[in-house]
Amino acid sequence: MNILICGLGSIGRRHLKILKSLGSHHITALRTGKSVSESEIKPDAEIHSLSELDSNKTDAALITNPTSQHIATALEIAKLGIPMFIEKPLCNNLNGIDELSQTVKEKNIPVLLGYNMIFHPGIKELKKNIDNGKIGKAVSARAQFGTYMPGWHPYEDYRKSYAANAEMGGGVVLTSIHEQNYLTDFFGDVADVKAMETGGDIIGINSEEGIEILLKHRSGVVSGIHLNFYQKPYYRNCQIIGTEGTLYWDFMIPEVRILKKDSIEIIKTGESAMELLDTSYTEQMKHFLETVQGKAEPLMNLQKGIEDMKTALNILKEIGRN
């Protein structure tokens, strides 16, 4: 398969490596910066403008450039009729989304949003047990994600990264949108949003670095989300409370726990946290290739990406950041 990757930052390089492991794909990279270093896996070809692309020989495209450029880039790809993968979040605003949606519809292009956590064995196990009524009727949920941004890439100034800058689509709300995404996948659309910013100026970035969020889902479930860029050590978990028990998942522990009044059931999901994270990215890319081949419908389609963005923008409006 001939595949275009638009942007070879850290996430683009991760997807490139996975695609190379999944078959003899020919990968072309759209580059605006320096070429990939000798120590890294390389694309088969590089271009510096979409005008150089032979769309008739391109089977799929990945949009992995800075968040603020996603919709504009996706629109160019859509006009060429190329199936695409758009890394989360969809963008930092919805400018141009009507034209993109219409073009995707007219060209009948499959679009997958890059929410790899939906493919994480732990998150999949949570969803399965919610759906099969293992804890009765879900009532409320709490998800947390904390990370220390200055430690992400010690070799560069984190304050200059797109994740740190609001105008490029950064900030903890959009960069760490996974929790919002999987909770709405579990419990449905959001009817109301409340939020309060936390942290203030702990790490000195040009965007929100911490937030507390309350979501009221149309299903009646209320979910809370805490996100931050200042926590040491890394922390990620989810607790779901039902009428008959509680589900608990911790990213660093390869299991899901089903807690009842007089019992604890432990479901092993793998051997290690990093193995499961790698699995989520690999399974996501396998699914994307299946959508390109017409073997599957995108689990996270463009409309879901739009709904997530509307909720995220309402969250940012709540804290005066939008």
Written as one string, the DSSP assignment of 87-103 is ESSS-SS-TTHHHHHHH
Tokens of 83: 């199936």
Whether residue 13 is predicted with pLDDT greater than 90 in this model: the reply is: yes
What DSSP letter does each residue of 67-83 carry, written as one string? Answer: GGGHHHHHHHHHHTT--
Residue 117 · residue 186 · CB < 8 Å: no
Confidence of residue 78 (pLDDT cuts 50, 70, 90): very high
Whether residue 38 is predicted with pLDDT greater than 50 in this model: the reply is: no
- pLDDT tens per residue, range 212-258: 999 999 999 999 999 999 999 999 999 999 999 999 999 999 999 99
Which of 253, 249, 254 lies closest to 238, judged by CA?
Answer: 249
Q: State which CATH number among 3.20.20.30, 3.40.50.300, 3.30.200.20, 3.40.50.720 fits the domain covering 2-109.
A: 3.40.50.720
Domain coordinates of the chain in residue numbers?
Answer: 2-109, 117-272+302-318
> How high is the pLDDT of residue 36?
52
Quote the CATH superfamily of domain 117-272+302-318.
Dihydrodipicolinate Reductase; domain 2 (3.30.360.10)
- Tell me the whole-structure pTM to 2 decimals: 0.96
- pLDDT tens per residue, range 265-316: 999 999 999 999 999 999 999 999 999 999 999 999 999 999 999 999 999 9
> How high is the pLDDT of residue 137?
98
Whether residue 37 is predicted with pLDDT greater than 70 in this model: the reply is: no
> How high is the pLDDT of residue 40?
73
Q: What is the rounded average pLDDT for all residues in the chain?
A: 95
Q: How far is CA 232 from CA 95, 145, 206, in A?
A: 36, 11, 20
Tokens of 125: 């196990």
Q: Find the angle CA(95)-CA(99)-CA(103) to the nearest 5 degrees.
A: 145
- pLDDT tens per residue, range 120-160: 999 999 999 999 999 999 999 999 999 999 999 888 899 99
Q: Residue 254 is inside which H or E element, if any? A: none
Q: Which residue type, as a one-letter code, is found at position 122? A: G
Give me the mean pLDDT over the 205-218 stretch: 97
DSSP 289: H
